[in-house]
Every structure is written in structure tokens, then in C-alpha cells.
Amino acid sequence: MNIHEYQAKEILRNYGIKTPRGKTVATPQGAVEAALDLGGEGWVLKAQIHAGGRGKGGGIRKAGSLQEVEKQASSLLGKKLVTPQTGPEGKLVRKLLVEEQISIQAELYAGVILDRSSGQAVLLASGSGGMEIEALAWERPEAICRQSLEPWGELPAHRARRVCFELGVPNEVRPRLQGALQALCRAFYQEDCTLAEINPLVVTTSGEVLALDAKMNLDENAAFRHPAWADLRDPEEEDPVELEAARYGLSYVKLNGTIGCMVNGAGLAMATMDVIKGMGEEPANFLDVGGGVNEEAVAQAFRILMSEPKVKVVLVNIFGGIVRGDVIAKGITSAASKMEVRVPLVVRLAGTHAREGKEILQSSGLRIQVADTMREAAQIAVALGRS
Amino acid sequence: MAVLVDEKTRVVVHGITGKEGGFHARQCINYGTKVVAGVTPGKGGTLWEGVPVFDTLSRAVRETAANTSLIFVPAPFAADSILEAIEEEVPLIVCITEGIPARDMLQVKAALKCSNSRLIGPNCPGVISPNKAKVGIMPGVIFQEGAVGVISRSGTLTYEIVDHLTRMGLGQSTCVGIGGDPIVGSSFADILQLFAKDPQTRGVVLIGEIGGSAEEEAAGLVKEGYPKPVAAFIAGQSAPAGKRMGHAGAIISGGRGTALEKMRALEEAGIAVAKTPESVAELVRGALS
């Protein structure tokens, strides 16, 4: 689960990490009031969207006067912002974070990630703040220092200190940086993050250590122990169809093609998409109905696929294990009989009770083509999609 | 021979009185697996379909000599069950549960390092050695005893590929579902090393997917010299970047973990990489003939 910069900063402040003073606003008038409130002579306006690369996309603006604050806010709010991470369609800017301008002495990078191969949480830090860490890791891996966290989420003082020395910060700044790094690790762990990143973490001209930006991804699997996450979620930033699918326990990702897919299991669902693509066509979606799929979930999945206007044909690929083919077939026929099915349907059933399932489909009177293998099903779907 | 599970496997099912745990425990027993105990706190002293139920794993292990934990406990409590099994020094722990928080797995991994237990999963279909034992949720009928070892991050895709293998007469020694989470107990490389030493296994199939670098690590191991032929399939060649594809661990992040780079790494290590799931079996037949 993604959250906004202003929310991540609020969390970091709770752990004692300093950030520039700021306010979140939704109108140009609000931006001016925020700037007046914050005082000073310079402000930064930052578009709050769930995508990175905002600087490159023009989503971060400086303003030296209140008139400029209003002008910049007007040119951002209610407009689509395109960044390297939003895709060409961009994301609508609904909120801005207005912050005091900071004079910077040094820009650093600090982030905590899950290191999948070692099964540890790891702090990454670098003196090249502002740069994308992936790019840096690729081009100059030696510029990143890595320190693992203890399994209970602490970064011991000596490891934090070592990072400070490796980054070469002045002695008078070191205790503050060390504290910020340890706090970041604590926040990562206690807030159940899968990523917690401060980029850049800056040293101001007066020697303060401030999180100028913040990014946090939260582990959806841990939502049960964080009731407050319900308020952090911004449904406007998520795809409405994906959200709806999630409510029924379906895992759905919208794609750009014309062949709708309904599959049980994530790996098989991806493989089905790959086979379609290998035949020169594009899948309209990824849809995993899950291991314990029942009639109701099949019906909902169906409705979601049919609601997508781009879909020209639907391919159902089920390998029944615990799930039985006849149950799936009944789910499909009952769902299809209750709605207008405007596109042809290709169904491949294998595994448990596949034969019974095929019989149910073939005698249903619905426009359903039954295939024996995944390849055959994909071939039929591709041909139907082109006709 | 086979690896991990066989006739000597004695299973204790954590959560045996639950709906899922009970259903699959029954399926395992029907397959011929020795399910010797169940654990459900508060139901100790009762019998579940003839299987003794205990309040604690400690007691279950002491009284039944169980040597394999099969965990169906709900996600918020599953990591604690794994830690309990590690504490009781259960040699093999298979965790089926999906949705365990990554933070809980950090603690599990740390505990595993200081133990002799091996964890398979979580978020996996389990382990099966055809005709010997099934410790998991896979449909037993599609498997056939033979010489191919299978290691996979996914469930139904494994069934698809195993089905092809079986239809071509290529039976399996053991099939291991290592799980679809970002942090799992055993990696491709770990299980490859077991298959290397198993006399029944003559070749290995890796079924990978986008996200992480477990496939690249496996490629590294094979490149150093692996005694048996290896074939692979990687799911997610058409997956977009930055989107989680069903499995918690199946995500291309920061441009890394793509199917293409994994396929390239495997090919460079001399592994035969299939373009489609059904061609895996043909590659295996070619390598073993």
C-alpha cells in the first residue's frame, strides 16, 4: 500500500525525524494561506500523488512571493501530472504540500528495504542524495553503504555511526544523522513498511538534519495490526476496478490489451498472459481468482471483466486442484445467464472434475468454446479477438 | 530416495481442526501420508478423525515423534507457529499460509539461522514425493513417481507443468513449492543442492516468476557446476513494472526482477529455458534422453 509524502513525513516526525515545516492544501487560496502561516520568503509546492519522479515531471515548484505561490498552485492543482513513473496518462493532482524553503549544505540518501535474499531488513545510505537509488546501485554500487537491522528492527548505534563516518559528515552533524538513521529503521519496522525512504535527507546550512522528501510503502499483509491505515489509504490514487476486485478477494491488474483473462493462481495467470503475448496479442488484465475460488467469486470476476469496454474475448484458464471443474463451470454458467455476455468466451478446464465441468459448459446453450489445453484456448481466444 | 518427504515422514498438522487444515489433512492421509498428530490450542486430548490433537506442539512431538510440521494457521498467527516448530527442533516445517507480514518473516529467518530446521514456504502448495508422501495441498493424482525434481514459486502453474511431465511419462522424484512471498524459508538454490545429492533425481525443473533474484542466485549455483541437467520456465514475461502480480513477491521494482533478465541469467548458466509452460516437459525429455 502506497501513502503520500505528507503522510510519510507525519509518521517520521512521530519517530523524532525532523522535516521542513509544511501544510497540506487542496486549493490555490489554501496554498497562499499556508505560505502566510509558515512565514519566511520562499516556499516549495509539492504535488501529492502516488508516483515518484515528481521533480522531473514538474511537480515540485519553488515560489518566492505569495503571488507566485498562487500561480504555481493554480498550475498544479486539478491538472494531470506526468512523471517518469505515472505513465503517459499522468495523475491528477488533488493536494499540494506547501513547505518552507530550506537552505541546504549536503544531500544524502537513506532508505530501508527488505533484502529478499538474506531475509533481513537493510539500511542503504549514500552521499548522493536526490539520485534514484536503483540507478545509483547499478552505476556506482560502491557509493552505497549497507547495514542490516537486527531482526527486532533496531539499527545498533555502532552500525549507524559507521554509516555516518562512511558518508563523511562533519563531527558536529554526526549525532543528529545517527539519530535520524536509527529512527528511520525503527519506523520501517514498527510501521510494517516494505520500503521507507528519505531522498534526499539533507544537512541544512545550520547543521540540522531534515527529511526533505519521504516515501513509504506499507505491507498490506500487516494491515490487521494497524487500524489507522484505513485513514491513510487514498482511494482516489488507486484504480477503482482493482479496488473493487480486492474487495472480493480477487487479485486484478488492468493492462492495455483486448483479451480478458480469468485464471486460478498467480503463476498460471502470468503464464497465460505470456502465452497470449507470445501469439502477438495483448492481455486486457491479470486476474487471479485465488486457490479457494467459489461460484460467487467466479461471478464477480466475470462481471469485472465484462465491465471493461476494451475486452473483445474472455479466456478462462482453470487448473483444478482442490477447486473442482464442475464448480467453476456452474459459476460461469450461472454468472453468464444473469448478464448480457457481449463477447465470446473460451474456457479451458483441467484437473479435478474437468470432464464434468466441460459437459456443463457444452450443454449450457451459452456462446462458450471449450478447449483442452492452455495453448489451444489461447489460440482460439486470439483468433476470436482478431475477427 | 527423493528429498524432504518420504515414507518416514510423520506429519503434525498445525490448525488441524480448522476448515482448511482439516480438509487438507484428510487429503494427505488419503494419499498415504502419515499424519500422526494435530495441534489446536484448547482442543488437546480430543481426536480429529482418529488423529490425536494436542494443545502444544511440544507435547505432540514428544508423544508422537512427529518430524514434519504442516502449518495452516491464519496469517496473523502463522509466524508464531513456525517459531514454535523451530523451538521444538522439528526438522522440516512446511507453511501453506498466505499473507504473513514480511516483518514476521524477518524474525523467522533469524530464528532459522540458529537452528537445524528447514522451512518450506510460506504461501506455497507444499512438498510431494509421489507414491511416498504428500505434505501440502496439491492434487495428488497428477503426480507420478519418477526422476524429475521440481522447484517452484507458484501453485497452479506447477500443476500445469507437472501434468505435462506426467503425460509424457516423466515422473517426479519430489516437487517442492518454495512459495510466492518476498521472504521464504528455502530458495531455489537450497533445494537444488538437495536434488544434486538425491540418487532418484536425474534432472531438475525450476519454475520461477518475476520479482527478487532467487532465479539469478540459482543460475549462479548451476554455473559453478551442477551435476544434473536443469530446465526452467519464468512466468511474467508480459507483466508490467511496479505492479504486484497476485503473489506478494511477484513485482518488478526499480526496473529489476524482470522475466527477461532472469531468463538470460539462467541461459548463461547453461539452463534450458522454455518459452511456454508446455515446452518445459519437452526440454526435460531432451535433456534426460
Domains defined for chain A, CATH in brackets: 1-19+103-236 (3.30.470.20), 21-101 (3.30.1490.20), 239-386 (3.40.50.261)
User: CA of B254 to nearest chain A CA: how many angstroms apart?
Assistant: 6
- pLDDT per position as a tens digit, A10-37: 999 999 999 999 999 999 999 999 999 9
Asked, as a colleague might, if the bond just before A200 is cis with ω within 30 of 0, I would say yes
Average pLDDT, chain A: 92
pLDDT of B227 strictly over 80: yes
Worst-scoring range by mean pLDDT, A254-263, A295-304, B209-218?
A: A295-304
What pLDDT score was predicted for residue B254?
74
pLDDT of B259 strictly over 80: yes
State the fold for domain B138-288.
Answer: Rossmann fold (3.40.50)
What pLDDT score was predicted for residue A150?
96
Residues in A closer than 8 angstroms to B134, CB to CB, are none
What pLDDT score was predicted for residue A288?
93
Strands of the sheet with A368-371, listed across from one edge? A251-254, A285-288, A259-263, A313-320, A345-351, A368-371
List Cβ<8 Å contacts ≥24 apart for A220-224.
Answer: A220/A1, A221/B75, A221/B99, A221/B100, A221/B101, A221/B102, A221/B248, A222/A192, A222/B101, A222/B102, A222/B103, A223/A1, A224/B75, A224/B76
DSSP secondary structure letter of residue B140:
G
User: CA of B7 to nearest chain A CA: how many angstroms apart?
Assistant: 23
What pTM did the predictor assign? 0.94
The answer for B 20-59 residues in CB contact with A (under 8 A) is 20, 23-24, 27
What pLDDT score was predicted for residue A290?
80
| Domain range list for chain B | 10-120, 138-288
Average pLDDT over residues A79-105: 92
pLDDT of B248 strictly over 90: no
Worst-scoring range by mean pLDDT, A133-137, A177-181, A191-195, B278-282?
A: A133-137
Which secondary-structure segment (H or E) carries A331?
helix A325-337
For A307, half-sphere exposure in the C-beta direction (CA atoms, 13 angstrom radius) is: 12
At A342, list the grid cell: 457481449
User: CA of B63 to nearest chain A CA: how many angstroms apart?
Assistant: 31
Beta carbons of B11 and B33 less than 8 angstroms apart: yes
What pLDDT score was predicted for residue A332?
85
User: CA of B279 to nearest chain A CA: how many angstroms apart?
Assistant: 11
At A189, the pLDDT band (50, 70, 90 cuts) reads very high
CATH value of B10-120 in 3.40.50.1820, 3.30.110.70, 3.40.50.720, 3.30.70.920: 3.40.50.720
> B10-120 and B138-288 share one CATH topology?
yes
Determine contact: B229 vs chain A, CB below 8 A: no
Residue A350 Cα distances to A328, A354, B127, B156, angstroms? 11, 5, 21, 11
A12 or A321: which leads in pLDDT: A12
pLDDT of A335 strictly over 80: yes
pLDDT of A291 strictly over 80: no
pLDDT of A294 strictly over 80: no
Determine contact: A228 vs chain B, CB below 8 A: no
Residues in A closer than 8 angstroms to B212, CB to CB, are 116-117
Q: Is A6 a catalytic residue?
A: no
Beta carbons of B129 and B4 less than 8 angstroms apart: yes
At A336, the pLDDT band (50, 70, 90 cuts) reads confident
A270 to B109: CB separation less than 8 angstroms, yes or no: no
pLDDT above 90 coverage of chain A, percent:
68
Average pLDDT over residues B151-155: 95
Determine contact: A217 vs chain B, CB below 8 A: no
At A161, list the grid cell: 555511526
* Cβ burial, residue B69 (10 Å; 0-12/13-18/19+): buried
- pLDDT per position as a tens digit, B54-108: 999 999 999 999 999 999 999 999 999 999 999 999 999 999 999 999 999 999 9
Beta carbons of A110 and A201 less than 8 angstroms apart: yes
The answer for A 330-359 residues in CB contact with B (under 8 A) is 350-352
Q: Quote the ipTM score.
A: 0.94
What pLDDT score was predicted for residue A140?
79
Amino acid letter, A276: I
Average pLDDT over residues A360-377: 89
Q: Is A109 a catalytic residue?
A: yes
What pLDDT score was predicted for residue A88?
86
Residues in B closer than 8 angstroms to A116, CB to CB, are 182-183, 212-214, 249
Beta carbons of B270 and B222 less than 8 angstroms apart: yes
At A303, the pLDDT band (50, 70, 90 cuts) reads confident
Count CB atoms within 10 A of the CB of residue A94.
14
The shortest CB-CB distance from A267 to any of B24, B110, B209 is to B209
The shortest CB-CB distance from B106 to any of A120, A269, A283 is to A120
What pLDDT score was predicted for residue A352?
78
- pLDDT per position as a tens digit, A149-183: 999 999 999 999 999 999 999 999 999 999 999 99
What pLDDT score was predicted for residue A367?
82
Average pLDDT over residues A330-337: 84
What pLDDT score was predicted for residue A365?
81
Determine contact: B106 vs chain A, CB below 8 A: yes
CA dist A34 and A23 (Å) reads: 6
Reduced to 3 states, what is the DSSP secondary structure of residue A79? Answer: coil
At A128, the pLDDT band (50, 70, 90 cuts) reads confident
pLDDT of A84 strictly over 90: no
What pLDDT score was predicted for residue A49?
95
